[in-house]
Amino acid sequence: MFKILGFLLICCSFLLLACSEADTLGDEPPTEIVIEGTPTWRNGIGKLVELKCASCHQVPAASYTPHGTPSTMDLRYFESVGMIRRGDSLEVWINAGILEQKLGGIRKMPLEYATPLTDREITYLKDWAISGSPE
Ligand code: HEC
């Protein structure tokens, strides 16, 4: 009987340990994508955009894609970079400043409650957009 209890106790402590480790993640900053050399879709930008933008911007919409997200742009794929409403491209929006401010009715990207971009990640995206969003 006591053996079983002892065993259960050990199991519980492992469970508690596992949980407390997970809890500490809340204090850590989100993983930053680091790009060596020129940022291109294949060299880092695709990965960055998939991680920080495609969580909402995917087709069909993800369960947490908010109402009103453009439904044609799937930012997991390079082909979608030029397929934004009204024929704009991601490059145009980034150059217009969507990563830094609200533009007309469109909010700053990513939305406030999503995983934020780091300053370096914003710089990569802007460098990429200003050089013509190369693949
Ligand atoms: C939490 C969800 C979410 C995330 C993450 C997100 N977006 Fe958005 N995005 C939206 C919504 C919703 C809209 C519609 C405009 C609005 O509601 O302000 C939008 C609109 C846009 C538009 C305007 C397109 C159009 O046709 O109107 C662009 C460009 C854009 N997002 C780029 C990005 C980029 C780049 C990222 C990552 C850095 C990103 N978004 C991350 C939800 C998101």
Q: What is the mean pLDDT of residues 59-66?
A: 92
Q: How far is CA 7 from the centre of its chain?
A: 42
Q: How confident is the model at residue 31 (pLDDT cuts 50, 70, 90)?
A: confident
Residue among 70, 69, 72, 80 nearest 45 (CA): 80
Indicate if ligand 1 lies below 6 Å from the C-beta of 90. Answer: yes
Pocket lining: 98 vs ligand 1, CB cutoff 6 Å? yes
Q: Whose CA is nearest to atom 37 of ligand 1?
A: 53
Q: What is the pLDDT of residue 81?
A: 83
* Rounded distance from Cα 24 to ligand 1 centre (Å): 29
With CA atoms as reference, report the closest residue to 40 among 104, 111, 91. 91
Segment among 18-22, 47-51, 65-69 with least mean pLDDT: 18-22
* Cβ(48) – ligand 1 distance below 6 Å: no
pLDDT of residue 131: 95
Per-residue confidence (pLDDT) for residue 29, from 0 to 100: 61
CA of 28 to the centre of ligand 1 (A): 25
Does the CB atom of residue 114 touch ligand 1 within 6 A? yes
Mean pLDDT, rounded, for 43-55: 96
107 Cα nearest atom in ligand 1:
18
Please tell me if the CB atom of residue 122 comes closer than 6 angstroms to any atom of ligand 1: no
pTM of the model: 0.82
Model pLDDT, residue 123: 98
pLDDT of residue 88: 77
- Angstrom CA distances, 41 to 92, 107, 132, 134, stand at 16, 24, 11, 6
Instruction: Provide the b/e sequence for 118-131 (b: ≥16 CB within 10 Å).
Output: beebeebbbebbee
Whole-number Å distance between alpha carbons of 121 and 48: 8
Q: Which residue has the higher pLDDT, 8 or 100?
A: 100
Predicted local distance difference test score (pLDDT) of residue 7:
58
Q: What percent of the chain has pLDDT over 90?
A: 63
